[in-house]
Amino acid sequence: MTDTLLLSIDERGIATMTLNRPKVRNAFNQQLIEDITKTTAKLGADKNVRAIVVKGAGEIFSAGGDLNWMKQAADYTEAENWDDAVKLSDMFNTLNTVAKPTICLVQGAAMGGATGLISCCDIAIATVDAKFAFSEVKLGLIPATISPFVLAAIGARAARRYFLTGERFDGTTALLTGLVHQLVADNEQLDVAAEKMIKQILSGGAEAVAGSKKLIADVAGKPIDTELRHKTAEMIAMRRASAEGQEGLSAFLEKRKASWTQVPETKS
């Protein structure tokens, strides 16, 4: 990993990835894309990591794609352009499917590809004055690579307006469309809200949280047929029989805290 992406992990296993290109508003280039992809995959495989927080350095979360990088791509061969686009898609997919809960903190603005990054995170919190846009049409482009992830977040109806106009919209609209889950007053409150979410996540079993994330991916959009009902029945049966499931049920019946809640507090 390079200094385009900063990583810290606290005593509880909360990893924070910070986009660190503030001079260009944390815009994506090839290096940042590679760093996010590799770091996310590494954190996903680390059994000691309980959650991942994604944030941006400076006043703006991210301006999306680096315009100089995209301009250079215009001179790529078809094969080079394909490879470049696939790497961007891989970054989004890695974050979208990582087996850890993810929390995105948005301040200032999130434009173009940055909205894809938000959509790939499980929980998104933004300041009330943050601005958003699917701005690709303003550059003669289309939001193709982010579209599967954004449509899963906001739906086709909202996309039919905001993809086509490329207009900027505020935090309240982002909340109403489902792009973000919560608005806070300022940057300081972003960290406060994130900490509340982290404590909620840590109150659940790590395997159960990961399993619930996979459950959503397995069930969303599927017809409620016999195959799906039997599959979900098998899932809960396996969880009940698991060591973590047994510990959770025993702790509840015995009116005590489950073993996984015994995590160290963050240092003040």
Determine the average pLDDT of the residues in 9-13. 97
Here the tokens at position 209 are 């949280």
Q: Place 33 in a pLDDT band, splitting at 50, 70 and 90.
A: very high
pLDDT at residue 111, rounded to an integer = 97
Q: Place 264 in a pLDDT band, splitting at 50, 70 and 90.
A: low
Which tens digits make up the pLDDT trace of 168-189?
999 999 999 999 999 999 999 9
For the chain, the structural domain boundaries read 5-201, 205-261
Question: Does the global pTM surpass 0.75?
Answer: yes
Determine the average pLDDT of the residues in 51-69. 93
> Looking at the predicted structure, is the pLDDT value of residue 263 above 60?
no
Q: Place 262 in a pLDDT band, splitting at 50, 70 and 90.
A: low
pLDDT at residue 48, rounded to an integer = 95
As a whole number, the mean pLDDT across the chain is: 94
Long-range pairs of 220-226 with CB within 8 A, sequence gap ≥ 24: 220/152
Beta bridge partners of 104: 54, 124
Q: Give me the percent of the chain exceeding a pLDDT of 70.
A: 97
Here the tokens at position 160 are 């039919």
| DSSP 8-state secondary structure symbol assigned to residue 139 | G
Query: Is 3.40.50.150 the CATH number for 5-201?
Result: no
Q: Place 268 in a pLDDT band, splitting at 50, 70 and 90.
A: very low
Which tens digits make up the pLDDT trace of 113-168?
999 999 999 999 999 999 999 999 999 999 999 999 999 999 999 999 999 999 99
CATH class for the region spanning 205-261:
mainly alpha
Q: Is 152 exposed, middle or buried (0-12, 13-18, 19+ CB in 10 A)?
A: middle
Using the structure block, give the residue that is written with the tokens 């903190």.
Answer: 105
Here the tokens at position 252 are 């509840």
Using the structure block, give the residue that is written with the tokens 């509840």.
Answer: 252
Q: Place 94 in a pLDDT band, splitting at 50, 70 and 90.
A: very high
First to last CA, the chain: 28
